[in-house]
Amino acid sequence: MHVPPIPANEASRILALHALKILDSEPEERFDRLTRMARRMFDVPIALVSLVDVDRQWFKSKQGIDASETPRSISFCSHAIVEDHIMEIPDAREDIRFFDNPVVTGDPHVRFYAGCPIKISGGHAVGTLCLVDREPRSLSPKDRELLQDLAAMAEDEIAAIQSATIDHLTQMSNRRGFEVLGNHVLATCARLSLPATLLFFDLDGFKQINDQHGHSEGDRALQRFAEAMSLTFRTSDVYARLGGDEFVVLLSNTSEPEIHAALERLQHAIDASNANVVPGLHLRFSAGAVTSEAGSEDIAALLRKADQRMYENKRLRRTAV
């Protein structure tokens, strides 16, 4: 069995995939409709929308199998994402890369595979729309066109997710995206009896940057703060720009010392960013934190409480000056 090749842009590809905040999300009819269509049109037992993560492939939509993910090391789709076109395997038993793969020698006994890469903005191939059959077969030219059309529809659906839930200036989640992802995290914390902490940030002096240096510099200030956040927090954390100069991050199963350490890392990242600009463009921020034990509150309640604590801290800082 050949180990799947690593794409040349793997680091940026993984960052782009994680930025979608789609991994481990709930099933969605928009994607299930595509895999149902693929299964029926091609008369195959299995059709998938597969996303290739660091060490696994995860199925955003699946028809014909129960598993929600498999190791990347045995994934056909991990081979397909390095192709610029459909990867077709007429009979996996006769392909040196796959003949001894456990999904070929065992359940689900893959023989035929065809996967069309799914690409997102920036050209990153994050996964495939793929077909699997337990009997050898091949695609006709019209079949290949149809599979490409279905993959393009999957790309459109992902682009719609990006457009609806991503803040275009910072490429973070927006308020809508944060509320969806945040409530998903809180539900998971409630199920596992884990704490969740919401940090609410507001940039101090942001209006002065806009008034004195123009909105283009204001936009760059927001981008610099977003970059500092992405360097500070874990990929498992959910962070977002709510709007204006307000940012949030939701941390799950994080102790108080770890939260303080994260805030210190954020301050160090801000200091490093400030070293590269004139004093009038220096970033400063106020923060408020609130913890929900075992995810017992919804995201709207946490936002209200963390926002209030942030403004309390901001007033205390002004009083102390």
Percentage of the chain beyond pLDDT 90 is: 74
Please name which of 168, 184, 164, 185 lies closest in space to residue 176, comparing C-alpha atoms: 164
pLDDT attached to residue 295: 66
Report the SS3 class of residue 251: strand
For the chain, how big is the Rg over CA atoms in Å? 23
Q: Pick the more confident residue, 242 or 20.
A: 242
Residue 320, pLDDT above cutoff 70: no
CA angle 179, 309, 296 (to 5 degrees): 45
Class (C level, CATH) for 175-320: alpha beta
As a whole number of angstroms, the distance between CA 263 and CA 265 comes to 5
Q: How confident is the model at residue 278 (pLDDT cuts 50, 70, 90)?
A: very high
Domain with CATH 3.30.450.40 in the chain: 10-165
Q: Summarize pLDDT for 181-225 with one digit per residue, the tens.
A: 788 788 878 888 889 999 999 999 999 999 999 999 999 999 999
As a whole number of angstroms, the distance between CA 150 and CA 116 comes to 9
Tell me what the mean pLDDT of segment 273-286 comes to.
Answer: 94
pTM of the shown model? 0.62
CATH number of 10-165: 3.30.450.40
pLDDT attached to residue 317: 72
Which positions ≥6 away from 88 have C-beta within 8 Å?
113, 114, 138, 139, 144
Residue 140, pLDDT above cutoff 90: yes
pLDDT attached to residue 321: 54
pLDDT attached to residue 108: 96
pLDDT attached to residue 298: 87
Domain with CATH 3.30.70.270 in the chain: 175-320
